[in-house]
Amino acid sequence: MKRHIVLLAVLLAFSACKREGPGTPPPAAGIATAPAPAAPSMPAPVVSGLPDFSPLIERQGQAVVNVVTTRTARGNALLSDGARDPLSEFFRRFMPEAPERGAPEQRGQGLGSGFIISQDGYILTNAHVIADADDVTVRLSDAKREFKAKVVGADKRTDVALLKVDATGLPVVTPGTSEKLKAGEWVAAIGSPFGFANTITAGIVSAKGRTLPDESFVPFIQTDVAVNPGNSGGPLLNLRGEVVGINSLIYSQTGGYMGLSFAIPIEVAMDVARQLQTQGRVTRARLGVRIQEVTNELAQSFGLQSATGVLVAWVEPGSPAHKAGIVPGDVILKFNNEVIDTATKLPRLVAGSRPGTPATLEIWRKGASQQITATLGELPPETTARKPATSPQVRPNTLGLALSELPPAQRKALGIDYGLVVEDVQGAAAETPIRPGDIIVGVNQQRLASLDQFNQILSQQKPGSAVALLVRRGDDMLYVPIKIRG
């Protein structure tokens, strides 16, 4: 009420300033006066008032549930976010604190949220909410009904889980679309922070399409809506009362709300739920490449006019990409006519396709663009890693790289034709991410066949130009640009 009174006083004062008061003197006689310029028209206010969220919670609140899990654990094994190091704290899951390390085996309880998407009892929540749970109980917002829930399935890659309770005639949410969301738009979250059921908090959309560490398949919605432990799995709603996302992550150095919250777009969640319900698992297509951003230096090395597309750093032998003829050094510009403007866009487009379907890729290779068709495979649930060995022999190089040739047996073990092992890093190379133990397998868009070939390529470069070294480290491949010094 006080806020409204102050605002009214400000508006009255502003209008009073625009009118001449009774004490305003007239212009002096005999002095010509120019006509007063017309006052500029004032633009309409951008924000006309604060929204009222009460109808929203009245319509949708009954379909939001409290998800209670029990599990047996020893020590701090109940922690859903792993060890208490700075990296794991960076994006902490919304689960309560667990017993201290070294505590005896005990029954622990976790609290989260969810929302009903069908009258016959299907419920969406986060995969981490029900992870390793022995029992899952769903409590409705009226606090009078609760049901034992069956976990239909969970997808860790998107952090989405589907539950089922034996009930009919349940209240359901209204699904919307995140595509129409705009930065600055009002949104609200309903959930059970710290166990306080049916709590609503509000804020705005801060950004869309956020990419977070180790999250390749979800274009997160970032908001400043206050969410805390227990909000996980609850809905993010727009002012029309439509669910646009599932609250999943927060940025926190304390475990509580710090102004940065992240939600899974509802389209992603509903697609996962549909697959879990119909086939019990989620299938995604795969191409079989490892990629990286194209920097200005890399674009210069490959003859691109601008830093666009994604650079193929490695192609898995026998993969769809390998069968289609894609090679390291190719720059993928488009996938099925979709322009690839970020390195995170390609994995999402590929994963969102159906395994076994053909995909058309526009690539940049050796100064020209061309089209390649690849038949997509299916993404396996897990990948395996192999550890390479290195040779102790040392050879100098003008870039400051001490290199040795990788023995044939180790080449075979790594599945490469040729490689140069980095034994020491000095000079210009010391300013790059290259480090001892890395293996150089290519320069620009050429695969290496000998140390002499490597040195010859370098000798042909002009001072000030850049070369891109294709570096293998473990199972990862990365192009590293180095400028040639005069």
Exactly one of 159, 178, 192, 353 is catalytic; which is it?
A: 159
CA–CA separation, 68 and 108 (whole Å): 10
The CB-based long-range contact list for 414-420 (8 Å cut-off, 24+ gap) reads: 414/386, 414/388, 414/439, 414/472, 415/317, 416/441, 416/472, 417/447, 417/449, 418/447, 418/448, 418/449, 418/450, 419/448, 419/472, 420/448, 420/451, 420/454
Exactly one of 80, 113, 206, 232 is catalytic; which is it?
A: 232
Q: List the one residue out of 218, 251, 235 whose CA is nearest residue 90.
A: 251
Residue 311 and residue 326 in contact, taking contact as beta carbons nearer than 8 Å: no
Q: Which two tokens stand for residue 401?
A: 């790289």
* Residue 232 falls in the annotated catalytic set: yes
Contacts (Cβ under 8 Å, ≥6 apart) of 96: 109, 110, 111, 194, 229, 230
The count of residues in the chain is 486
Radius of gyration of the chain (CA): 30
Exactly one of 80, 128, 178, 206 is catalytic; which is it?
A: 128
The CB-based long-range contact list for 31-34 (8 Å cut-off, 24+ gap) reads: none
Residue 219 and residue 207 in contact, taking contact as beta carbons nearer than 8 Å: no
Bridge partners, residue 164, by sequence = 122, 150
* Residue 322 falls in the annotated catalytic set: no
* Residue 128 falls in the annotated catalytic set: yes
Which residues are part of the catalytic machinery?
A: 128, 159, 232
